[in-house]
Amino acid sequence: MQSFLNQFIPWIQHYGSVAVFLWLALGIIALPIPEESLLLFIGFLMAKDKLPIVSTVIAAYAGTCSGITGSYGLGIFTSRYIVRGWGRYIGLTEKRFQRAHNWFERFGKWALCIGYFIPGVRHLTGYVAGALKLCYKHFAIFAYCGGIAWASLFMSLGYFFYKPINAFIGALHAHTVSLLQLF
């Protein structure tokens, strides 16, 4: 995690909310960014008054919602190509595609909401919802609520546990140094 943070510190400190928006949007679309670590780090920076709270939180929410909407749009535009062009290689027929659509209409909305909390799943739910042509209104309600809850949880953990974690790390460091001096 430390090397990840070292790469993103200059970007986030220099560009602030714009970097938060871009990294989260690109991460949700599927750029390999550990979003949970990023959100915890953003919470830490807000607790240290290195980032403004309101604009950073808005940027995080907007980035999360933009990313999932982008993957939804990609799912809409690529679904028929994937089913017709590649479906026969992976056993995806029109009939199976329709069954998946019906299942997603019934239960998939909740997968959009809960999927944010499962790494890897959050990256796929937008594509699947788009590919299965889930009604945009339902997609937006569930995906955006899930995204806001997910971003809020991890930013809050970083914000509220910044001081206890720093105190713990400081105490751990002091005790480690003391133990090393014994040997």
- Residue pLDDT, tens place only, 99-152: 777 777 777 788 888 888 887 778 878 888 898 888 899 999 999 999 999 999
Output the pLDDT for position 100.
Answer: 73
| Mean pLDDT for the stretch of residues 164-169 | 66
- Structure confidence at residue 53 (pLDDT): 94
Higher pLDDT, 94 or 161: 161
**Tell me, what's the pLDDT at 18?**
94
**Residue, of 29 and 167, whose pLDDT is higher:** 29
Position of tokens 């003391």?
178
Give the pLDDT band of residue 176 (cuts 50, 70, 90): low
Find the mean pLDDT for residues 156-169.
Answer: 78
Token duo for residue 81? 């190509």
Q: Are 123 and 32 in contact (CB under 8 A)?
A: no
Nearest to 140 by CA among 152, 124, 153, 129: 129
Condensed to tens digits (0 to 9), the pLDDT of residues 43-101 reads: 988 998 989 999 999 999 999 999 999 999 998 988 777 766 776 676 667 777 777 77
Judge whether residue 177 has pLDDT over 60: no
* Of 7-16, 20-29, 118-127, highest mean pLDDT: 20-29
Residue (of 137, 151, 132, 141) closest to 75 by Cα position: 132
How far is the CA of 135 from the CAs of 90, 127, 145, in angstroms? 26, 13, 16
Left (φ > 0), alpha (ψ -120 to 50) or beta: where does 152 sit?
Answer: alpha
